Amino acid sequence: MSNISVSRFKPVVYVIALALLGPLLCIKFGPCTLNASEVITFERVAPKHRESYAPAVQRAAAAVVSIHTKIDVPVAEHPLLRDPFFRHFFGGQDQQQFNRKETQPGLGSGVVVHKEGYVLTNYHVIQNASSIKIALSTGEELEGTVVGTDPETDLAVLKINAGKSKLAVIPLGYSDKLEVGDIVLAIGNPLGIGQTVTQGVISATKRTNVGLNTFENYLQTDASINPGNSGGALIDSEGNLIGINTAIVTNGMAANQGIGFAIPIDWALDVLQQLIADGQVVRGWLGITLRELNPELRDELKYAEGDGVVIAGIARQGPAQKAGLAPGDILVSINNQKIGSIAELLQITAQLKPETHYPISAVRNGQMMDFRVLVGKRPKPDN
């Protein structure tokens, strides 16, 4: 009875086992043919027109590099080590052994702007660096040398030698043609995770009084920019370089608030050319400090209407003093260019050629006066 029962149910067991193990056997030993009624099909649709900035990225991204620096930072010594009495217990070691330094890594981005290996980046990316390594988009790493720096615009030019390798060079666009609302893309190495592309719009142009540098004329964008993006490319929708990403606004809690600043390429190009040619940027100088006009100053100086900036201080025997200008004068034009703010005056003056005479108009005691100033050379800033 027992044997008959077992033999009767064996085929059922085999069927159940096959049903359970069948899919596994198909995976293990190859495709199986299923019944048409058992196959679930899904409908797929190819886009008629793909909205993409891939061509722009492909045109520019190969020329964007990562910059790795090493910076030697002094290590604070214990206050007791400054006392000769306590130093005696350290075996009479010399001063150099107490002036220790540690090496800290730095990270940023840059853009290859010329086939000869010139790389444009931010000054703060390579400031005080003891070594500079530049990683190309291909992964190749090269030694970078400093051609010149301009701390007052936060720009620097590096050079790499790629040997026989052909460098990818980014095409340069025109930043003065940009309008608020134009699509832009930021390319760089944020947070060291690798080359990344983010997209946004131009939020504002000619942004000044940000408080980052002496000379400011920023493009503002909401394209996501984070630490490591500094010195990288801001490109237009066709892949042309229109700015160098420089800074972001943070609230101290988050890295990015959707407010980023880039140095426009029209502004950077003049600096780039001067640094390559001479290793420095030469600017005009008047030898004055300035204040913006406000209602109180207007009342005090009897200047109710009109643009201009006020001379707050003047360098002895500087160009302005030699020309007859004095504190309290309201500068309204230089070289026949009207002045509406301190930022405008700085930009105009910077473009003047040293050792050249230029006309200046100023208001003194309510009277318009004309002067002629021999512009000097702007002193180098303390780095």
Active-site amino acid positions: 124, 154, 230
How far apart CA 329 and CA 322 sit, in angstroms, is: 14
Q: Which helix or strand (DSSP H or E) is residue 271 part of?
A: helix 265-278
How far apart CA 231 and CA 226 sit, in angstroms, is: 11
Query: Read out DSSP for 80-92?
Result: GGGSHHHHGGGTT
Smallest Cα–Cα separation from 240: which of 97, 88, 111, 60? 60
Smallest Cα–Cα separation from 286: which of 238, 349, 198, 372? 349
How far is residue 99 from each of residues 103, 134, 182, 227, 241, measured CA to CA in Å?
13, 30, 52, 30, 44
φ and ψ at residue 192, rounded to 5 degrees: 75, 15
How far apart CA 200 and CA 186 sit, in angstroms, is: 8
Query: Read out DSSP for 334-379?
Result: ETTEE--SHHHHHHHHHTSPTT-EEEEEEEETTEEEEEEEE-EEPP
